A and B are shown apart, each in its own frame.
Chain A
């Protein structure tokens, strides 16, 4: 028996993921073989199971990046809460932004089962050692952007997240099930908002078109670089973390929005977008990958602002956490007396 249900892995409670490799052992490692057998049988890996160090570090990187994205993603939409055009829209937007906070917390909790501390992940984000989705480095210039984010950005996120519900790592898969259930409202409210604008006054319609024009390509690039340039895909697929490649998911997303934009009555900002009966998919134009690389490197329109805001919120909230901890210590001391 070991003392805790968490954060203790490996024999003798050693550093997570470490193990003693017997020298000269040329045969297949039994721990690794058992791990791969579970993956191949489509079973889930659970926190205290043995796992290769690289599997653990890949998951920490991916889940933390996903969690940071949910939290940073609150900023572009939070920008419009005080200026929502009606009480109905305001209540919806507040609920959505609150959901994003919740999604971030589900994901930090999944990452912590791998033996890292949330505070450390946040430190890594602040130091620029972990990233968040580059989509949130674009500004929300008009109210219609809230609709475009819900429809396109959340639509892209859902396409990416649905296969993650079957990810080989149990806590991540379970978090994604909750997230996906909640995301579908996000996408629908965005579509409905854009639909209302697209069927409103000429100025509203122009605003909707402008927002779709600006968010279309960044949303398509959210799936990451093309398959031949994607450095993590092959290993992640072998480990059952990823089920489909970037380009497969991208095609799935384009097929979905290409039809939905017709219902909105807006024009896709891609002259190459057309149905290809032979492939059974929509063809679409080439993404500006140089732009994606630029934004990922830190030169998007809002990179510095997003991180600075997160650091400020963390620092300004420090006294609240300290006061809560001091109060808890005082109460515990009184109860003990």
Chain B
């Protein structure tokens, strides 16, 4: 494959049905957004797996770094009081 013809990479997100959010399903190469959408339809929804597709240039995604994973997510680690199970309630109290 010649170097000059390498097409950019797109990430594909599909909403499988109403009421659900778009989910990442994979990536593909296409020259522009319109072709990326058409290719995504052919690659990822051959069996009615979707009713809506998003395509995003892969280079447009900013991701958290796995090297900072611990430091980045640590602040939530010691805040058990954000969960309802943290609280002690008398057994006979209903609907709480």
Contact = CB atoms under 8 A, between A and B. Distances in A.
A98 B31 contact: no
Contact of A4 (B32, B46, B61, B67): B61
Contacts of B31: 321, 324-325, 327-328
A102 B59 CA distance: 23
Nearest to B64: A1
A178 to B, nearest CB: 8
A263 interface: no
Given A105-B43, A314-B1, A1 B27 contact: no
Contact of B7 (A5, A109, A314, A321): A321
Interface residues of A, number: 40
Interface in A288-325: 314, 318, 321-322, 324-325
Contacts of A118: 29
A6 B58 contact: yes
Contact of B66 (A49, A98, A117): A49
A49 B6 CA distance: 26
Interface of B: 1-7, 9, 11, 26-32, 35, 42-43, 46-47, 58-59, 61-67
21 contacts: A2-B62, A5-B11, A5-B62, A5-B63, A11-B67, A50-B66, A95-B46, A98-B46, A102-B43, A106-B43, A109-B28, A110-B26, A112-B9, A117-B6, A119-B6, A318-B1, A318-B2, A318-B5, A321-B31, A325-B7, A328-B31
